[in-house]
Amino acid sequence: MTPHHRFAHVLSWFEANMPVAESELNFTNPFQCLVAVMLSAQCTDKRVNMVTPALFAAYPTPETLAEATSDEVFEYIKSVSYPRSKAEHLVQMAQRLVSAFHGFVPDNIDDLQTLQGVGRKTANVVCAVIWNQPTMAVDTHIFRVSERLGLTTGSKNPLQTERQLVKYIPADIIPKAHHWLLLHGRYICQARKPKCEQCGLREYCRFFSKK
């Protein structure tokens, strides 16, 4: 099966079986989205959603968060992974948003990556989710699912996976495709014990064909 055919089959299946695919993080504006995505690094969306209501109530804007101390922010997020470093990054990120971007979340990857605690993956998520741009954020789920399905071959890092995926996925559906692959990895194609018996992509899956 050629890459074009494999991508076409997989994307068609997702479109038919997962027409609605979106972030499971709770937020109401670009600033909250950025904060939630930063908190979600190596942490579950469920846990993040448990801490953000109180955090957003205390710091509803970049200006209010920029005036906080990392110790104050830590008290709101101490149940997430790496809370000390994330608290520091959140305050520093908000300070730069205020000083460099007038409190507005940038709409491009380069500017986003100048914010403390924001790497390429986080920047890609924000651009895709908030600005609906054709950016593919590759986390552990997407890295694993793409390789297993055969959408990527021999990728050694997230950037290689990202480049292979955006080469074949139409730009207008890349934001949705990000969530298709992520959710499939989170609930079906799990790392230790993939639920192949529940997967509708078995006939297109390189991993399943070798079992």
Tell me the catalytic residues.
121, 139
Distance CA 80, CA 54 (A): 14
Q: If DSSP states are collapsed to H, E and C, what string results for the chain?
A: CCHHHHHHHHHHHHHHHCCCCCCCCCCCCHHHHHHHHHHCCCCCHHHHHHHHHHHHHHCCCHHHHHCCCHHHHHHHHCCCCCHHHHHHHHHHHHHHHHHHHCCCCCCCHHHHCCCCCCCHHHHHHHHHHCCCCCCCCCCHHHHHHHHHHCCCCCCCCHHHHHHHHHHHCCHHHHHHHHHHHHHHHHHCCCCCCCCHHHCCCHHHCHHHHCC
The b-or-e profile of 29-44 (16+ CB within 10 A means b, else e) is ebbbbbbbbbbbbebe
